């Protein structure tokens, strides 16, 4: 069985992933407590690898490697720092040709063909970070699941979870859950992936 690409994102009720430009996943509109972070850690630990766009990767790169050994941070942060740093990753970028922390760079016109090969030859779940990468995987028929953590806030504007898609995409609900602070989880299979 081939690997599966799983797009995983925190979103507002109106499906924005950023409210302000360059918020880079750190908006104060999110309700991420220890319980939810433990859920993130468990799911991230179970991934066989991660695929991230440049903006997501650089946001992660600027915080998580140092967080893993920072005794002033809660243990759940240090644990995620270890998970992110150690996990095999693919950075999809035309700007960067190399990256640290167990990361391979896919750039150029063949990046998504290479991701298709990675999916066909791999196994387990591959986490996807970044709306641009997720939208392109969806358009290529390579996105298998969407995992969203919906925070109880309406932003009204911002960066949407997906860029423009050319036709409706049918989903099948696989899992749902709730967490402290009113955050809900919904995991969907992408039909015809």
- Which CATH superfamily, name and number, covers 10-31+134-193? Dihydrofolate Reductase, subunit A (3.40.430.10)
> What is the predicted pLDDT for the residue at 27?
81
Q: For residues 141 and 176, what is the distance between their CA atoms, to the nearest angstrom?
A: 24
Q: How far is CA 192 from CA 86, 141, 145, 189, in A?
A: 32, 7, 11, 9
The pLDDT tens digits of the residues spanning 57-68 come to: 999 999 999 999
pTM over 0.85: yes
pLDDT (mean) for 26-51:
94
For the record, the structure tokens of 175 come out as 């899992």
> What is the predicted pLDDT for the residue at 34?
94
The percent of residues in the chain predicted with pLDDT above 90, rounded, is: 90
The pLDDT tens digits of the residues spanning 79-92 come to: 999 999 999 999 99
The pLDDT tens digits of the residues spanning 113-172 come to: 999 999 999 999 999 999 999 999 999 999 999 999 999 999 999 999 999 888 899 999
Q: What does the domain layout of the chain look like in residue ranges? A: 10-31+134-193, 48-124
pLDDT at 25 over 70: no
Q: For residues 116 and 139, what is the distance between their CA atoms, to the nearest angstrom?
A: 12
């Amino acid at each position: 069985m081939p690997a599966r690409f799983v797009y995983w994102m925190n979103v507002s009720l109106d499906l924005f992933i950023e409210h302000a430009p360059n918020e880079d996943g750190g908006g104060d509109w999110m309700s991420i407590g220890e319980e939810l972070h433990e859920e993130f850690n468990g799911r991230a630990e179970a991934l066989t690898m991660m695929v991230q766009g440049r903006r997501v990767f650089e946001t992660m790169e600027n915080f998580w490697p140092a967080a893993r050994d920072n005794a002033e941070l809660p243990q759940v942060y240090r644990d995620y720092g270890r998970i992110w740093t150690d996990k095999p990753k693919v950075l999809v970028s035309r700007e960067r040709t190399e990256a640290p922390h167990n990361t391979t760079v896919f750039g150029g016109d063949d990046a998504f063909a290479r991701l298709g090969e990675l999916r066909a030859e791999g196994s387990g779940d591959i986490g996807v970070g970044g709306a641009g990468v997720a939208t392109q995987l969806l358009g290529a028929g390579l996105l298998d699941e969407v995992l969203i953590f919906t925070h109880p806030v309406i932003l009204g504007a911002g960066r949407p979870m997906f860029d423009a898609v050319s036709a409706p995409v049918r989903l099948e609900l696989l899992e749902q859950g709730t967490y402290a602070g009113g955050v809900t989880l919904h995991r969907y299979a992408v039909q015809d992936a």
